[in-house]
Amino acid sequence: MNCWLVFTLITFGLVSLSEPVYADTLDKAPEQLTNSLMQIDAAASKGDVEGVMQFYSPSFIHGDGINYQTMEQALDKFWKHYPRLRYKTKVQSWKSKGDFIIAETLLVLLVYHLPIKINWP
pLDDT at residue number 111:
82
Residue ranges in the chain modelled with pLDDT below 70 = 1-27, 113-121
pLDDT at residue number 3:
44
pLDDT at residue number 64:
93
pLDDT at residue number 95:
93
The candidate with the shortest Cα–Cα distance to 53, out of 35, 33, 67, 32, is 67
pLDDT tens, position by position, 23-32? 444 458 999 9
The candidate with the shortest Cα–Cα distance to 11, out of 82, 116, 90, 97, is 90
